[in-house]
Each structure stands twice: as C-alpha cells, then as structure tokens.
Structure 1
Amino acid sequence: MIATATGPLSNLKVIDMTRVIAGPLCGQILGDLGADVIKIERPGEGDDSRRVAPPWFREPTVDAAGESTYYHSVNRNKRSLSVDFASEQGQALIRKLVVDADILIENYRTGTLARYQLGYEELKVINPRLVYCSVTGFGQSGPYSGRSGYDFLVQGMGGLMAVTGYPDGEPGAGPLRIGVPVADTFAGMNAAIGILAALESRHATGLGQHIDISLFESAAASLLNTASAWLNAGVNLGRTGNDHPSAAPYGVFEASDGYIIIATFNDREFDRLAKVLGHPEWLEDPRFSQNCERVNNRAALKAAVAAVVKQKTRTEWVKILNDATVSAGAINEMSDLEHDEHAVMREMFVTIGSVHGDVRSVASPYRLSQTPPNYRRPPPCVGEHTDEILDEMGYSHTERDALRAAGVV
C-alpha cells in the first residue's frame, strides 16, 4: 500500500520529462516533498541512467533489461508513464496530461521539445498556470546553447576543476574532477528552487513561467570565494589540494591509524588547537599568531601539527579535538558513513520495498516539522504506472490497448 504524501507539495502534479541526474534529482526533490511526479520515459528503454552500470541493482538477463544503482539514486517517489512523444498520438497524450499539471521539467537539448509542439510557448497556451523548467548544459541562449553538457565537461568549463587537485610541483599535480556529479546536483537543486519561486509568483499572478537552468551557470555560481577572489581582487586561488586557500591549519592529517580532518577557520579556533595539542607557544610565534601569517607559513605549521597528530589514533583525536571545541572529524568510507552514530540517529538512510527487493537510499535533507517528506514509492520500472495514469486521464481500455498496439505507450 502506498503511503499518503505528507510533504508540503502534496497538492501538485509534476510531469518529469528528464533523464540521467540533474533533472531527475529535481523531480525526486519535488516528489519527496509530496508532489505527484509522473516520469515520462521512452517505451522499452526508459531513462538512460538505467544502464549506467556496473554496479547493478538488478542485473540484465536474456529476458529483461537491468537497472543500475545510478538510476536508483534520483528516481524514488515517481510513477513511470512510457510514451513515444515523437509520434503525434504521444504528443497529444502529453498535451492532455499538461492540462491540469502544475509543473513540467525537461532536460532535452535546447529546442528539442519545441519541435514536437511540447515547448513552453506551445504548452502555456494549453495551461497558462504551468511552471515549465528546462535544465540544459548551457542554457536556452548563447553560443553554447546547442551543445550537450555532461557533469564532467561542465566541472572543467565552469571553473571547478581549476581549484580541485594538487598544485603544480606536488606529486599528482593537475586538475581533478570532484568525485560526485556536483554540477548535476547543483543544477537539480537550483531547478527545484526556481520552481518553488515560480509557484510563489503564480500565487500572486495566476500565471506560470519558463525557468532556464544550466549546469554551466550552476557550476560557476558554486565557486563562491574562488570567483570573488578573482573578480574583486584579481587573485587566482588555484589548486590547493586538501588545504584551504585562505585558512590554516585546515586539511588532512595522518593519525597513527589513518587520516582525520582538522579545520580551524579563525584565530579563536587556532588558540584552542594550539593548547590542546600541547603547544601554546605557537600563539606567540609571529609565523602563526594570526590567520594571514599561518596561511603564509602553511608548510611549517602543517609539519608541526602533523608531528603531534601522528602520536594518537583517529578515534582519540576526534574526541580530544571536539571536546576542546576544535572542528575535526574522520574521513568516512560509505561503510563508515552508513553506521555513523549521528547518521543513524538522524535516520539518514531509508529503505523502500519494491517488487525486485528493497531499495536503499540517502534520505531527503529537508526536515520540516509540520509537513515532512516521506518515502512512498521506489524508483519505478519503465512504464510501470502507464495503465494507472491513463485510467486517471480518462482513457478507456479500448483506447489504451490501441495506443499500446501502435507503440505509443
């Protein structure tokens, strides 16, 4: 039995015409917050991310396609409707679905859906209240607007890889991608924020609007201090490995049995660190007494701190430092994070039963006291809810069978 949605968006209907990560993440955020999210997929094939594997959640067989764990990370709380919108009948079906929808999300290459009469200009005529969000690599205008954009590519072009990796002259120097698809993630979150803002505007005006979200701009907007340093001081922060460009000591240190992070962001924290490490004389040392000097003398300070840290275990140091109000923590593998006492208490991992077994995922980070998210549906199989949705739309059994016979659904 599917639980009743408890989130604040439980009165909203979303058409999710997205694939891979950024768009589906936006749809999952809205679904977690209660919206009825209908995922439009190509008959038979479905979302491209279903086959981005290994690892597999369900391995392919001679009789059935597999499903990747990648797909399962961003597609819970959705229903799947398989539609071939390249056909006129498929286009008509989606336009009928749009009539009473609140939101449509799409991440096709710029102009693709307009060719099928499914762009914003066409659909706002059917439903002026529709909030239509396009997520692309580079946006709806500009010289790159026709390009495809994947996370890795945009991490490089958007400036993230210029500040990720070890600096020249150190072992392993060179630009690195961040190990998770952060440009996709930022874009998906920005799409959800833009949609909620457009819904608030609709409360006042009664009208929807078109939202243009790009991975490129989302990556650049995440640069924060890096961008500000260049734009306002002409300073290129560059790659600093695990060190912070503007604070020290702030990085990875080796304990007797592994690594920890120590993060001191101001003089007050350094005061506490120096004392708990047994070196109060550092506070009088002109090389270390103020943050700007600590940054200038980073190497010497790092060596001094490292010499002390290697004398105890990770567990010992995490307790000692946090008890002294110094920010410190372990570097967790997924196996560590899953069993972290804080993660367990906060119920950061959820399990949803499916016909193919339990699907586990990271819980929504949105903790609302009155209208919390809930987890009603596992990521759907391709077209799993096609008949159910067509019934809701008023299609008869005969009409439904005809659409299936024609390959439309």
Structure 2
Amino acid sequence: MKRVEEMPRVPAPALIPSFGPLAGMRVLSTGSIVAMPHAANMLADFGAEVIHVERPKVGDTYRTLAPFVRDGEKCVSASWAQDARNRLSLTLEVNLKIPEAREIFLGLVKNSDIWFENLVWLEKFGITDEMCLEVNPQLVIVHVSGFGRPQFGGIPEICDRGSYDMIGQAASSWMSLMGFPEPNPPSMAKPWSNDYISAMFAVFGALIAYVHAQKTGEGQVIDVAQYEANARILSDTFVSYLEAGILRQRTGNKSPAFQPYDVFRAKDRWVALGAFGPAVYERFIKALGLDPNYYTWKECASSVEAVASEKGQELDRLTREWIGARTAKEVEEHMAKYKVPCSVVCDARDAAENPHWQARENFIEYEDQTLGRKIKALGVIPKLSKTPGKVWRGAPSVGQDTEAILSKILGYSKAEIDAFREKGII
C-alpha cells in the first residue's frame, strides 16, 4: 500500500503529555474486556501513548459492565472509569478486507512500537503477523488469548476456543485449589484475577521484546495464553504432582503445612494472620502468652504431621479462642507489636478510610471524559522515585480521539476523515 509505505513515522507522544519512563513509546491496543487492554493501560500509566481501537458506534464491551457511576443522565461503568484512563480512543472497523480500514490499521502498525491484541479469529479480518512485521520490522506483537496461538504449539481446535477469566482459572488448575474441601465446589478468585495476571505476563513479554527490538531493530511475536499465565503462579503444584505424585487439594484459607496461617473470626469481624518459620512463630506464641518451649515450632507447626498432631490441634484451638475474644483491630495491633504479619480483612470502605492508604495517596482524582467531572479512583502502582507515572486524563468517551489520531499521527485530511465516517469505517 503506497500511502502506508510513504507515511512518515510520527514520534510519540503526539497527543498526550510527555511523562514517565515510557515516554516516546506508542502502543496499539485492539480488542476488548480486561486482560489485553489492561496490559496496554499498565504501560499508559507510565507514559506510553496508547491508542485503543473500538468498534464505531458500539465501543468496547467493557463499557457495559455494571456497576455504573451516574451523574444525571450520564453514566459510566466503574470498571471502565478505573481501567481505561490514560488511553486514546479510536473507532475503526478492523476488517482489512475494506481497503480504507486496511490502510488505517497498517498506518497505526507502522507508527507503533507494541501491538497488543485479543481479537477473536484474527485471520478472519485479514490480519497476519507477517503482514504487520513487513510494515514495521521492529514491531512487538503480543497476542493474548485463552489457550494460545497454534504456531506456538498446541491443538488448533483448542487454541481456537473462546475464554473468559473464569475459564482460564478452571483450565489452569488454579480453580481446583480455590475454596474449601469437597463436597464444596471450587471457587473463582475475584475480580477477574486471571485476566489481570495474564495482563502482567503480557506486559512482561512486551517489555523484554521491546528491549530486544531497541538493541537489534528486530521485532517479534509474543503469545500469552490465560491458562498458562495462571499456571505459572501455582508454586509447587506441578512439580509436586509430576515428581512426587502429590495432587494438591483445596484446603480453604488454612495452610495444612504450617500454622498459624488462616483467616480467623475475631469478636466483630475476620482477621488474617500468618507466622511461617521458627522466628516468627516464636514471636506469635509469645504474643498469645503461651510457652514457646512447650508449643515448639517443630512439634506444633513445622509440617503437615505437626499441624495435625494433638498438640498442633490444641494450639489451633487456643489461637481461635484468643482471637475470638478480641476485636479484629485489637488482634491486628497486638500482633504488630510482636512483628507478626496480621491484617483485618478490609473492604473498599475500610481502605478509603485507612490513614495508611491516605498517607500513601493511594486514591487520586481525575476527570472522567464521559461524566465530564472528576472521579476518585485507585492511583498509579508501583511508585517510582525518579520517573513516576501519572493519570493525565480519565477514561475516554467512544471515539473521542479518532480525528486527532487520524490527522496528527496518520496525516489524513478532514475531508478524508469525513469520508471514512460517512462509510462507517470510523
């Protein structure tokens, strides 16, 4: 395509403020819901110029997820308001069988450093990795799917299956470990834990490939499968089975291998408490006013057998009685004096009112583009001392930046943009 070949590469950022360690990076994001877009937004919080592609007049499905924040007749999904900040919104029919759409898409590819995608049945749209790398040899392509891309291995029919967060949790073996023992059903970790974990692996893959591209001029393709991302964080689950024949089972919140490590009922609410290893365990025993020479780590807490022993069970009973006689806050503060890890089980209200969260400025305000007013949301994580991230703008309305992207980055005239809109391409 001659126009794409002749199109100059416009340096980033062209439409957002320059800030953070990723200033100068441009990211193209095509797809919807959680995992893939969140990966792009993690980079956006630290200065990458992220162009998120949405369907004309429809938008990202994530916009429709309840609950909603309302202001008169205006409303926005709370999820969208939190997760879609710092991104630019471009509406485009990503169907490369349409010549104009093909030209726009490949122009975006040429002007991007990283392309994240979770489009279902990508090839149906006429898009291939080879085509994109021909246009931009340094491009880092990150595919995010439930079961992976067949060119990286696997059974093609399974690679082609759809997925959601819950499906990835089930397929990865994670869900088999979540919840209380049979006959209770497996539990799903909320909210969308597998999606967010997949996003983090997508970011990791994108950045290490980006470093390689900067050194060599060579782009490449990254394949992130939800089930694999989830499987990678299951600790010893697979080695235990493959090498020792041990099949992990659901145990609820309690660890069967050492104690204390559980969520306990205090007088008023729940509290999480753990002490792993002889040193912390001894401090815990002293915090309860018990004799560490009698309730020893080895006899009561160092193994499955110790925890299940008569003395181990006695310690568990005494622990629950001690905690149950006090408020959760009293337990938390008392354990803090002994350097024993412990926390009240907090909800969002607790977090919003917590002086520590406030002192760390965990909640910030920014203007949501749909509501047209400032909202409060969780801030940028992690914190950097030299090149911190920031929120330069709240979540965009559908197609809010389409004209600016097409004109300032791709060089289209107003007449051309109007023609695209007339044809329903944007």
Task: Report the TM-score range of the alignment, normalised by the length of the smaller protein.
Answer: over 0.9
Partner of 1:381: 397
**Residue identity matched to 1:83:** L
- Correspondences of 1:125-274 after superposition (within 5 Å): 125-141=134-150, 142-143=154-155, 144-168=158-182, 173-274=184-285
CA distance in 2, matches of 1:73, 1:217: 26
Q: CA deviation at 1:391?
A: 1.5
Gaps of 5+ in 1: none
Partner of 1:82: 91
> Structure 2 length as normaliser, TM-score?
0.89
Partner of 1:16: 29
CA distance in 1, matches of 2:16, 2:65: 30
Q: CA deviation at 1:149?
A: 1.0
The structure-2 alpha-carbon separation of the partners of 1:119 and 1:245, relative to structure 1 and needing over 3 Å to count, comes to farther
Aligned positions, number: 399
Q: CA deviation at 1:117?
A: 3.3
Matched, 1:114 2:123: yes
1:27-80 CA-to-partner distances (Å, cap 9, x unmatched) read: 110101100000100001111111122x1124896xx8x532122232111000
Matched, 1:403 2:420: yes
Gaps of 5+ in 2: 1-14
How much identity, in percent, do the aligned residues show? 29
CA distance in 1, matches of 2:131, 2:375: 38
Partner of 2:60: 47
Q: CA deviation at 1:303?
A: 1.4
Partner of 1:7: 20
CA distance in 1, matches of 2:68, 2:376: 13
Matched, 1:288 2:297: no
Partner of 1:368: 384
Preserved contact between residue 54 and residue 91 of structure 2 (Cα < 8 Å) = yes
Say which SS state the counterpart of residue 79 (structure 1) adopts. strand
**Residue identity matched to 1:202:** A
CA distance in 2, matches of 1:59, 1:221: 42
Partner of 1:305: 319
Q: CA deviation at 1:3?
A: 7.3
> Structure 1 length as normaliser, TM-score?
0.92
Preserved contact between residue 95 and residue 126 of structure 1 (Cα < 8 Å) = yes
Aligned with 1:318 (options 309, 332, 339): 332
Q: CA deviation at 1:363?
A: 2.1
Mean Cα deviation higher: 3-12 or 386-395 = 3-12
- Correspondences of 1:47-66 after superposition (within 5 Å): 47-53=60-66, 55-58=67-70
CA distance in 2, matches of 1:241, 1:184: 22
CA distance in 1, matches of 2:260, 2:108: 56
1:58-115 CA-to-partner distances (Å, cap 9, x unmatched) read: 4896xx8x53212223211100000112233112111112222111110012xx3333
**Residue identity matched to 1:22:** A
